[in-house]
Structure 1
Amino acid sequence: MLRGRHKFLPSDDVLLLLTTLLAAIIRRGSSDDGVVMGALAKATNPPGWTGPDFCKWDGVACDTPNKVSSINLASKSLSGKLPPEINQLSNLKTPSAFNGTSFQGRCQLCPTWLLFKKSILKIMANKVGKIPDIFGSLPNFANLKLSYNNLTGWMPWSFAKSGIQTLMLNNQMLGLSGPIDILGEMHSLREVWIHSNQFSGSIPDLSACTELSDLQLRDNRLTGVIPDSLTKLPKLKNAALQSNVFQGPVPSFPPGIQVNLGKENHFCNPGPGPCSPQVTVLLEIAASMYYPMVLAEAREGNDACQQWQFVTLPSLRSLYLNDNKLVGVIPKSLTSLKQLQILDISNNNISGKVPSFQSTMILKTDALRKATNNFSQNSILGKGGFGIVYKGELPNGTKIAVKRMESSMISDKGLSEFKAEIEVLTSHGKPELFIHRDLKPSNILIGDDMRAKVCDFGLVKQAPDTNQSFETRLAGTFGYLAPEYAATGKVTVKVDVYAFGVVLMEIITGRKSLDSSLPDDSSHLVTWFPRFLQGRDKIKEAVDPVLRSDLNEETFKSLWKVAELAGHCTREANQRPDMSHVVTVLSSLVEQWKPAADEDSFRVDIGMSLSQVLQKWKLNEDSFSTIATDYIKQKQPPQ
């Protein structure tokens, strides 16, 4: 029963409702309005509805013979159940007909809260759930207005294939979330109202949205630098960007555009103009991590040396200070930079002693034997296709992992994979994008401080500069192989996104990716898991009992977001998010995390937020070293 604007539809009703309505929108007027009107008269029994010509009934109007254009039953105190056939009135244009009535009918045309035309869908009645991913089949659908509801989740990927011109999703009670990159693919947009939500990430390139005139992004959790493409849109008239955490320079819009930047954003200067070179470099670093919220909130201003609590230089390899007329002494703190290889201070006025710098660590095989207890079984961390990884500890307390290639496994294939892994682990200079191809739990190591490290890069491939796929031999582990890779051998960066989604599912459920001991319809985790994404209560049935016992409401909210993310990661390749989107979603949970166990269990201070723990991890980057040794020319490992 709907009795006003403040009742909620169950989340599964939203999909059924929108699907039904959109089907009605695209349905052509071939139905018999007489049959529909007869069913409506029988169900509601309005006064004055008698006679064979329904176009002459009280409150009914037809624009063409036998085609109802409006129905007015407002304020007649009617009740009953609306028949499903009412959606077949293809020419109905005035559905305010039923205001003041009290009709039942799940997902029927109830115009107290629904107004639609053939290209317009408007729902404003506190509907609960997600926006269904069905818009790809509606290329002519122009206007979607779902403001002031209780919708959650991401904007559906099918928006990109729609012809939506007006998109109004603003003021959701709990807030839609996720990145807004999909807007850059919606080239027909004219109006975008998505303010007062929980969207995160940066503004995408909107240069293809040449018809966009009104952009309302205020009151979200957006970060990053405002792109120049936004300031160059030819028809833009209004842009509301306040109450976010944008960074970088203040954008300069042409005259005549109404722009509200507010005071909450973290621009480097109070007015237009470039940031300092140092801040620009730091922003480029933040961009490489997709502008996480924890960094955006950590600083503002144009001084790279102030308010950047995460700025440390543990991986600095080259420092050139020559020809700068410097005076004073060389600070001893430079010796703490364990990766520093080049320090040029020539042609200055520096005095005093040169501090002693640590040389590169060189270990002999005997030292590795001792550190790993002679490569004992108890020291094994994992086994790869051509070697075993052992954990060890040096006399100074430094923990290491040693990959040992056995001579019995030596082959052209094994050597090439071993070299590929060494190249990845020892790569210098500009970071490269790699495709791992074998991401799974056994290739993820967890340190004492609960920091995860991906290992076993023997199957790694360097990603191409474009989003194109390339063919390669099939390699990896069944259960984690993306379907398109298993079927065609073609690889893109999305194969690792798929595998990451499977790992998330395993963490949530405590199940294996493939389990032959279960019935066929439940043995494959990726096909079994989506059944439980139909609602927040349903997902609890799939949660690992070990986790479920300590699952409070706050923790469950985070788990639900991770479960949704896992579902997105394992969709079709063209519907999977980039890892940048994954980082955006997971980073939004950073400040909410607290250790559940005693602080001594994982060498983590229980009073620290995750952002502080991340900073600690960064400072201690070298506490866990990975060392690849030359293979030992023996057929059997020493016992």
Structure 2
Amino acid sequence: MPIALSARQEAHIGSTLLATVEFVESSSARRLLHAEEAAKPLSGLSTAAAAAAAPRASLSSRRSRRMLWIFLLVFAAGQLVDTAGAQNVSTNATTDPDEARILNGLFQRWGITAMDTWNISGELCSGVASDTTTPLLNLNPGIKCDCSYNSNTTCHITGLRLYDLDIQGSLPDDLWSLTYLDDLDLRQNYFTGPISSSIGNLTRMQYLSFGLNALSGELPREFGLMTDLRSISITANNFSGPIPLEFGNLTRLEQMYIHGSGISGPIPLSFANLINMQTMWASDNELTGQIPDFIGNWSSLTQLRLQGNAFQGPIPPSLSNLTLLVDLRISDILNGSSSLEFVRDMTSLSTLILRNNNISGSLPSFSLFQRLQLLDLSFNNLTGRIPDSLFNHSTLTNLFLGSNRLTGGLPLQKSPDLRNIDLSYNGLSGSFPSWVREQNLQLNLVANNFTIEGSNSNALPPGLNCLQRDFPCNRRVPVYSRFAIKCGGPQIISFDRTLYERENETLGPATYYVTNDRRWAVSNAGLVADNTNPQYTTQTTSPVVNTLDSQLYQTARASSGSLRYYGLGLENGNYTVRLQFTETEVLNTRTWESRGRRVFDIYLQGNLEERDFDIRREAGGVSLRAVDRSYNVRVTDNYLEIHLFWAGKGTCCGPSRAVNGPLISGIRATANFNSTVSNIPPSGSRNRTGLIVGIVVPVVAVSVICLLTVYFYVYQRRKRQKDLEDEELLGLEARPYTFSFAELKAATNDFNADNKLGEGGFGPVYKGSLGDGRAVAVKQLSVASRQGKSQFLAEIATISAVQHRNLVKLYGCCIEGDKRLLVYEYLENKSLDQILFGPGRKNLFLDWGTRYQICLGVARGLAYLHEESRPRIVHRDVKASNILLDSELAPKISDFGLAKLYDDKMTHMSTGVAGTIGYLAPEYALRGHLTEKADVFSYGVVALEIVSGRSNSDSSLQDDKTYLLDWAWNLHESKREMELVDPTLEQQDMDEAIRIIGVALLCTQGPPGLRPAMSRVVSMICGDIEVAPVTTRPSYLTDWNFNDSTTTFATDTTNISTSNNTNDIISPINFTTTNTSATSGVSSATRLQPKDDVEPMLDKSAIGGQLLLFPHTKRALRPPSTTRNTSPNTAKASSSCPQPELNLTPKFFYLGTDQLQETMGTCCSITLGAH
């Protein structure tokens, strides 16, 4: 029976025939060309023989063409049969109606348009969706169907591909009802939210990819039900929590891509079952514990990547069984010593990266590794000489051995294919072989022991002598006290007239550069294996915000590994080092291209200052926003080292390849002392006059210094003992910059009232202008410090060393006699409370974007104080009036560390409470128990104030809105959080607002253990991790009036601000105790007069003699009785306890629990009756 073909089938067969003919013809032509090439006279072959070769080749070609034509006819006939069969199936079969409904709903929801070749408007499983010749990989968007069900009458959807379509939103539940899926590709979109446990319905799944999205939450255990899974990718998402044990059920798994996914914890022991694993990428996570031994049993493994985690050493020797590996990358093992013995038999390797793993021992030759191209063993403890054979390796092109302890000289010979060599920071010495002069060779020998003179002096780029061990140029003869570098770009003069010198040299994987005047230098080392054409500078024409120097940030220096800058010939002393960053490579869009993550560490003078520094995160989750960090650094050996180090974290695969190393736009270092050097480069003159001057001037200078020394010695002997003590204090090794009182008096116009900015809890604050033009805020400390001068200066030195872009910078102090003054940077937009609640609101309105950045900035500042500063600092009085705003409305926390100046007894119960009602954490207010969680509580209150634009309590509002925390909780319970947002805002981001409200409610939970750390608060606000559910009502302390204080209780001092002006501090609440015995019954009681007849209930009410009571507002109980001993809210004292009597009139309330009996101190219990 003749087969009827459609026009589409005829076209398909025709194109197949044409392609085959072209293939045959091109094959014949190539053979003839080869025959002609073979016929040309060659060495050892006669012309006659060569001529005879051509016809033989031609005959062979004709025979091959006949065979190919026969194959073509057979192939075409098969195509006719297959196409006709496919046509019959697609004509008679229909898509399962439920699956068709689901798929159409998904496409409509996401606004997806199908390809022209896919007949989605009619039968879904028609056209390319059901043919057997077009792979799913060629369709986007696309589906594949299996139409063999119910005797070829029903089609089920088996494959779905939605790749790089910028789809946003959560994964709908309907997706998990496509239970016949065996291939699901959702890579490179912007899916958010968690993965449902219903994913376990997809038991036929073989190839699953969610890579490069923004999914979050924990991985569901139901992944373990997809036991036919062969490949899974969840890379570059925001997941959290451990890998479920149930992943060990996926025994057919061959490929696992989980790098940069956010998971944490150890690799489960159940992974021992995954013996078919071939590819495992698990870098850039928070995996902990040791690398499991059982990975050595994955005998089919060819790729293993475990960089940038938190693994403990050593590397297990069992990995030596993985002899099929071609790509092995393990880095940044925290401790434990390993050796290179385990790689001995991995001779198939082409890439071997074992960076920063504390590997010791000698360096093998790797002579049997015939495919090795990249070897990176940098930042380990390798010792001994470099094997000559390693430099003569036939395939090796990149060799990184920097930051080890290698000794000896350079090998005499080198393979011409070895182009990038980093040997910096070792102990190498000797002369340079001839190959160091090769063109296109990159060789980094910084920080070794080479002597650069004679034949060595011209072998390499100039300046290497200044970058040898101990950086000898201008050592002990300093000539500089400042420098500024425009990293990766041309010379620029900044807005404040600072000259940034150009640094746009052509750097590469193993290079260095030293300026002609030997003022500064740069060294780079590292090559990302996946980036064949890495760029070491970046450039953008887009404007950069949050700065007046946009041009400064539009170019930057990039690195793939280790980037070091050096200040040379510096005068010793304290310096402020300012590092300037902006992210230019990652886009500001809600697409997968915004998912790039650049993470690196910052070291200054070898000390870790920032771990996992992420420019974009520091900028509030956006690119093209300037991020400046300032640090106080001490120079002791006339050089400064700034080291930006990639520790294996960051995006490997998008938006551009390997966006994961350091990036910096500018560096600026200035002395914090009165410099004695000229900052003029030294002259090279060696004439006689110069020699004479060089001798005479030092002699005269020494003589003058001696005379001055004698004079000042006599002068100091005649001064009062008090002045002598002050000078000794100012001579402390660790001391802040000190101003004279006369200098500050002139700066503030004799502390003129017109210069007064306000009155804080620690004293008045005045605006001033220093002699160098800096605007400052001068705080007069009005409360006498309990510390001596030495302790006071040490504390101020500590505070001034704590620097962060979200902390007010402390320039120094003044200490003369009993005067104590602090000098801060001046913030022109004053405090947050003035803008939110005060008259400043009329002049400066905060839009939603600014409020979001303020919430984020304050969180970052507190996270720095709690977790990164040394020492760690608890603020103790976080409130809106202690958050100042700069010219860009960026928030800066003020007054951190000051409470310590007034009470250095930081014990559990001896510390007075320094805080403000409405912001006080309950455990701190009641028991004096101070941890960083007290700041977390206060931050939650501030965050709600920022979102709502109102203070934490306002009696002018309706009862249900009086207390902000109570109102926020009620709105949260009823899913009406957006009603809390300031109604004057014209626009707001609902997701961000709900996220911040949820975070604030978490922060204000009663038990401190339920409050998150501030680093997690930052992550939650940024959307990097999910906001945990809030299940309990927040707790808060409010204002109480204390009347008729006749009770005799003993307690320490409590300072609590109660007025609407949050800067006022009221008098201490003092109780005294009389230890009298009491008989049964009640001889003295606490009479309460609660507002609105709400009966107070005790909750942690009396600790160490402090009596604070707080009602449960959900219960309206009857008013208190006038009968002292029988009143429902009469406190009954046990017979062995002191007998208090105190009238309390609560104005506001503390929300607590229903607990009716609590212990007072160690002996006294109070019970409140309830009805």
- Relative to total residues, which structure has the larger strand share, 1 or 2? 2
How high is the TM-score relative to the length of structure 2? 0.28
* Higher relative contact order, structure no. (Cα contacts within 8 Å, ≥ 6 residues apart): 1
Greater Rg over alpha carbons, structure = 2
TM-score, normalised with respect to structure 1 = 0.47
